[in-house]
Amino acid sequence: MATATTTWVIDPSHSEVQFKVKHLMVSTVTGSFGQYDGKIETTGDDFENASVSFSAEIDSISTGNEQRDGHLKSGDFFDAAGFPQLTFVSTSMKKTGNDTYELHGDLTMRGVTKPVTLKAEYGGQMVDFYGQTKAGFELAGVVKRKEFGLNWDAVTEAGGVVVSDDVRLVLNIQVTKQA
């Protein structure tokens, strides 16, 4: 007898999708996406071997600075007009400990698709006030922005790099089990 597939969808009001990048190699700028969605499909309630898909709207990017946000949306970086979304589709999700997983998948930004690995920490499950089953994950990983065509670069008078190539991804995701 086949085990039923369970679908979980992201609850955006209890989730956050952030990235962190070094500026001038001395401080970190944090940005986030305000519009995104995604789902996890599992066999039963176990997340090992789950299938994960996610997309974020580039135009929803926010770093708390309107001028910088405009630059990030421009052709120098994400090119929101030409490539309005970034997407992630998992290729595997393997349990690495009691509450930890390694999530492998293909990330597409600016029309370029590359494999990435994210560490996922499972926060557990809880039934909320409305009888909905929720589960939580914290995900983290690093991507090289230039591999995805986000090539803008500048150097200070002293020869310092303005924006690092490494971009840290930090996602806190709450998902709701679908009936």
- Reference 164, options 64, 63, 67, 27; nearest CA is 27
CATH topology of domain 5-177: Lipocalin (2.40.128)
Structure tokens given for 123: 């926060």
| pLDDT-based confidence at residue 96 (cuts at 50, 70, 90) | very high
pLDDT band of 2, cuts 50, 70, 90? low
Computed over its alpha carbons, how large is the radius of gyration of the chain? 18
User: For residue 67, what are the contacts with CB-CB under 8 A and spacing of at least 6?
Assistant: none
Tell me the average pLDDT across 12-40: 90
Tens of pLDDT, residues 128-157: 999 999 999 999 999 998 899 887 775 556
CA–CA distance, 85 with 108 (Å, rounded to integer): 8
Mean of all residue pLDDT scores within the chain: 91
Domain coordinates of the chain in residue numbers?
5-177
Report which of residues 34 and 76 the model is more confident about: 34
Helix (H) or strand (E) holding 101: strand 100-109
Mean pLDDT of the region 166-171 = 93
27 by DSSP, 3-state: which? strand
For 110, the token pair is 């600016």
